[in-house]
Structure 1
Amino acid sequence: MTSAQRTSIPWIPMAATALLWGSAFTAIQVALPDYSPAAIALLRMAITVVVLLPCLFLGRIGRLRRADVLRMAAFGLTGMTAYQVLLCAGEESVDAGTAAMLIAASPVFTTVLGMAFLGDRPGPRGLAGLGVALTGALTVAVTSGGGSGSLMGALMVLGAAATQATSFALQKPLLKRYSGAECVFYGSLFGMLPLLPLSPGVVGQVAAAGGHRTLAVLWLGLGCTAMAFWTWSRTLRATTASAASLVLYAVPVAALLLDAAFLGNLPALNAVGGGLLVLAGVAVATVRGAAPRRVRVKGAERAESSAVKRELVGGRR
């Protein structure tokens, strides 16, 4: 593969990934009238596990090492169980586009956790970006509380962003030994466990739900998780990590457009302004000021690129 091929931007898989991830927020809204937040979370993880199970039998997903069981379980409980339940509960009173803008603040929480527990030092630029992003998130939350949704719902979505950030910190060492598919599979498997006692009630909800509500839940597992992982992996293989990260900024935009197109929801202008502040702050806090130095040794260059991409693989699910 030539250098030009490596740095070309694969617009189709990038756009597909943004649309698939963005559609999750709208799909949750469609499913919620007939399904509880816990039921949506359990069914989404169960569908993901079933879809990826053949990969386990075919050897595409390796066995989980005993030494990594506790960390993988913690990743699943935070990034799968807590994140999805809180997000779904928040979307009971917050529209999909607003929820997507609040989730976009997740990198802020990741940076804060790195400062608190890993000794990371973001520097003046990073701190300024964090301040801008947090201001935007608070603007969105307060606007939601006084308009289309409740403040409690907005706080739940922010809680989902914080749990997602926690899962990123737990997942980072795992990505040195496991692929993104393996983390999604085992994380979903562990994430299902605390919700399994609710299975009888979930079966009852499936039986009573409208067909389009159930299709929305199926889409969450098939489209927003399994298919999105495939398009995201293609994106990472075809371009640089910095170019691939543009997808993360497109997700709230996709969610806003899909929410307006399918559900007719239009967020307040203040909420949109707050969302733009979140994205701007995240960009300032996370994008490095200088481009990384090119490494002459091809093997080392590939290793450096792979390390960055492994961190991005677990960015969304």
Structure 2
Amino acid sequence: MAQLFTGFALTLQALAMLWGAAALWFRLPWSTRWRRLVVGFWLLAALALLLLGLQGYRMALAGQLGLLAGLWLWWFRLRPTHDRPWADDVVHLATGEVDGNRLTLHHVRNFEWRTRDDASVRWETRDYELDRLDSVDMVVSSWGRPGVAHVMVSFGFEGEDFVVFSVEVRRLAGERFSEMGGFFRQYELAIVATDERDAIRLRSNVRGERVSLFRILMSRSTMRSLLLAYVDEANALAHKPRFYNTITANCTTLVYAMTRSIGAGLPLDYRLLVTGQLPAYAFKVGGLWPGHSLAELEARGRIDEQARRAHDAPDFSWRIRQEVPGWEGLGGDGRPNHEAAQESP
């Protein structure tokens, strides 16, 4: 029994030291060369202490605990900040305020993307009439990694205006996203409001990703509550920065938390963590447009080809929705048949 306990303790210590190596690699603000040196020293020290522990030296355990205590002291003193050289597309965070029936959003991104790193930069202030809010769509973009996708929410105002909210990593200029880095406080969190052409065309037309759109079954009062929950969350984030986390603070878990905050009794499910499976979760809880199987919703909700064909068309948002369940009220000219298109509960 003693040997079993010792083996278990040494295994936990080894895993803790490996976690420490990853934390140092992803979070130290130094060059690759210096990070390699520090992580190499850390792993050598961890291996030496582990071997000493296997030989029964109690001081080895004290040495490991000392190293981990120093690491945790540094780790828990890390603080997110708004003051860094951000990439152009996340240099501003969305904020908003409500005056009666009017919502004003500041820093709405409306870029014209040429490549994934080059765009005509436009940040705008836009007004929306809340009593015209009549649709909510979930937009899911994937790029070939099993189970991994980015999820956005688009709010529609009588088919004439659409604004997309996207929970993203706040990258530095020239920095690429790493799912592993998202576990180790490498990025701050961003809530970005964008024009629909910006958010969708970036992913479908520029990055070549697979993009799907699902109309959400939701009452108008709940739509309004969800939109204002996004605004409140964005304002709070602009006031107090937070770290992005691949599991606990990402594009899915924050939406889930906001939906729960407005009274939706949504169950916990593993698919909340496997973002590519979120449509299946929404279908399971009855959140997608009724009268269709999940396979049909996924097949008819695929919009990346329509987005590439529409590209600069002024009625872009209607063109990409022409075959999507819940949007069958589109006229033959690509404009809405409002009576049919607005038959939402």
Q: TM-score, normalised by structure 1?
A: 0.27
Considering fraction of residues, name the structure with more strand.
2
Structure label with greater radius of gyration: 2
**TM-score, normalization by structure 2:** 0.26
Larger helix percent: 1
Structure with bigger RCO (C-alpha 8 Å, 6+ apart): 1
